[in-house]
Amino acid sequence: METRLMAEGRTTVIHRGAFTVAWWTAGLVMLAAGYWGLPLIQSDQFENHFFGLFYYSILAGIVLFWALPSEQRFENGLFERRFVLLGLLVLWKKSTPLSAFTEIHYEQDPNLFRNDTVWVMVSGSDDNGERFAFANFSATAANIEKAKAIAAALSLATGLPINVPEDDGQ
């Protein structure tokens, strides 16, 4: 999460997937996977070329998802979700004005095979109102603190109250 204090008291809060250690590590793993598959396409056997084509087409799809990380931000009274090529060039964005929202809150989704997921949500006045997922993390103690820090920064920047769920003793 990144928070910037802009001129005239405006604050920008950004949550992005690019340029984190995990993002760079995933890029290096994909590069290594590309190198590892070279014997398939450099072989003289037709069967290896077929499997190489299959291997590299799957790898290309994975690289496409890696190269288009999402970014959520609040700036100048607008919430934005953007997809940016390699974290630098904006390809698509959707903006929603702050006036569509009334509170910031957490949601926790149970998962069967790993830690639960904690979401920092910004939502409108009723159950059918506008909702904006600002960030999500696996529900470890450190990540829950990150979610709380993002919610606090958003509350400070937007003036929206944080609706904290009651602790049920877990």
Residue-wise pLDDT tens digits, 9-64: 455 677 766 778 888 899 999 999 999 988 877 777 777 777 888 899 999 999 99
Cβ atoms of 30 and 66 closer than 8 Å: yes
Taking the whole predicted model, whether its pTM rises above 0.75 is answered as no
Per-residue pLDDT of 53-103, as tens digits, reads: 889 999 999 999 999 888 888 888 888 888 889 878 888 888 888 888 888
Beta partners for residue 117, in sequence order: 109, 138
Question: If residue 29 lies in a helix (H) or strand (E), which one and from where to where?
Answer: helix 21-36
Q: What does the longest C-alpha to C-alpha distance in the chain come to? A: 66
How many angstroms separate the CA atoms of 130 and 124, rounded?
Answer: 5
Question: If residue 148 lies in a helix (H) or strand (E), which one and from where to where?
Answer: helix 141-158
Per-residue pLDDT of 90-142, as tens digits, reads: 888 888 888 888 888 888 877 778 778 888 888 876 666 778 888 888 888 88
How many angstroms separate the CA atoms of 105 and 65, rounded?
Answer: 28
Question: Is residue 169 very low, low, confident or very high in pLDDT (cuts 50, 70, 90)?
Answer: very low
Tell me the C-alpha to C-alpha distance, in Å, between residue 35 and each of 23, 32, 42, 100.
Answer: 19, 5, 11, 48
C-alpha angle 64-65-68 in degrees, rounded to nearest 5: 85
